A = this chain, B = another copy of it.
Amino acid sequence: MNNFIFQNPAKIIFGKGSISVLSTEIPIDKKILVTFGGGSVKKNGVYDQVKEALKDHQYVEFWGIEPNPTVETLREAIKLAKNERCEMVLAVGGGSVIDGSKLIAAGALFEGDAWDLVRKPSLYKSSLPLATVLTLPATGSEMNQGAVISNKSTKEKFSFVSNFPLFSILDPEATFTLPPFQIACGLADTFVHVIEQYLTTTNQSLLMDRWAEGILQTIIEIAPKVQKNQYDYEAMATFMLSATMGLNGFIGMGVTQDWATHMIGHELTALNGLTHGHSLTIVLPGTMWVLRKEKGDKIIQYGKRVWGIEHPDKEVAVKLIIDKTENFFRSLGLKTRLSENGIGKATIDEIVRRFTERDLHIGENRSVDAMVTRQILEKVL
């Protein structure tokens, strides 16, 4: 086990009816910038609940944070927060709205341009307090410090690390009317977040392994229930809790992480607009196959404990386990090949060009460079 420091002060308020606590959780004298995505919260009742809870508060609304939030949009929100002298940000939406709001909360206290905050981490000093009402389980952003911000003009997508939300409200009923494709991507995203922290080398932490496997098993167990009936409160609550626990640091104590699949997936999203969770279901089988030498023992452990797959021939076992994983993604209704999404050699060449230019070496062992990335993407063409 590696030495580590762990702290996560975010408060989680979980369960049906919990949006109403906004009225008391946010100090009455704080002027709030309330941020939204495209408007689905007006159809599922969340917007009305937020408005009712904040009826005695002073707030302004900012609408239109898009999936893969762009700095272009967020600059507008930052301008509004500054002009209105907002003292707090309340993000109401999924991971994109929350991610974007992290940059808004930081940008509101920053003199320069928001993209500089993303590209030069040392410029980040502080943020306005941020709270969230989560409507789409997937990214864990409601309980971590991270965000991913896109730049429309440069077609780039980068991580941004700021502060934990003060509190996040997770009401599973807010997820009942999500589009099934979003739910499928959320399940896949959660699954791969756990894989990134787990599918490394064995025997780093017996406990963290068990907890990661526990989330994977849980996602596999509830996926068919969620697909069958997304008004199933228990299943959606379990999905929501799993997504948060999958990326809040709880399964990352003292272990190495990988994230190569995510970094390659981000490029697919930036270049071809693939939904984030969907980009991962394509890349992961390729990553697992190409890195099967260095990840072999952990793939075997994963296959045995999570899927019950065993085979005396290790290479055969690995193949079976990757196929099982890929079939799970397909059972969610997602594609697992680039060509199925109209993505071909040109995109691969561009990603390889970018990774070469940035001289990237990613993954647990920094073994994934531009050439290995080409192998991964060609494997899943």
Residues of A within 8 A of B (CB): 1-18, 167, 203, 205-207, 210-211, 213-215, 217-218, 221-222, 234, 237-238, 241-242, 245, 250, 253-254
Alpha-carbon gap, A215 to B213, bound state (A): 12
Q: Is the CB of B6 within 8 A of A9?
A: no
Q: Is the CB of A245 within 8 A of B207?
A: yes
For A241, what are the chain B residues with a Cβ–Cβ distance below 8 Å?
1, 205, 207, 253-254
Minimum distance in angstroms from A350 CB to a CB of chain B: 39
A and B contact pairs by CB, cutoff 8 A, 17 listed? A1-B234, A1-B238, A1-B241, A3-B14, A3-B17, A6-B11, A6-B12, A14-B253, A205-B241, A206-B222, A206-B238, A207-B214, A210-B215, A210-B217, A211-B211, A237-B254, A241-B253
Minimum distance in angstroms from A310 CB to a CB of chain B: 15
Q: Is the CB of A12 within 8 A of B5?
A: yes
Q: Is the CB of B207 within 8 A of A218?
A: yes
Nearest-neighbor residue (CB-CB) of A235 within chain B: B206
Alpha-carbon gap, A131 to B6, bound state (A): 15
Minimum distance in angstroms from A22 CB to a CB of chain B: 14
Q: Is the CB of A14 within 8 A of B9?
A: no
Central interface residue in A11, A207, A254, by most chain B CB within 10 Å:
A207
Central interface residue in A2, A17, A214, A245, by most chain B CB within 10 Å:
A214
Nearest-neighbor residue (CB-CB) of A9 within chain B: B9
Nearest-neighbor residue (CB-CB) of A221 within chain B: B206
Nearest-neighbor residue (CB-CB) of A216 within chain B: B210
For A218, what are the chain B residues with a Cβ–Cβ distance below 8 Å?
206-207, 210
Q: Is the CB of A4 within 8 A of B15?
A: yes
Q: Is the CB of A7 within 8 A of B5?
A: no
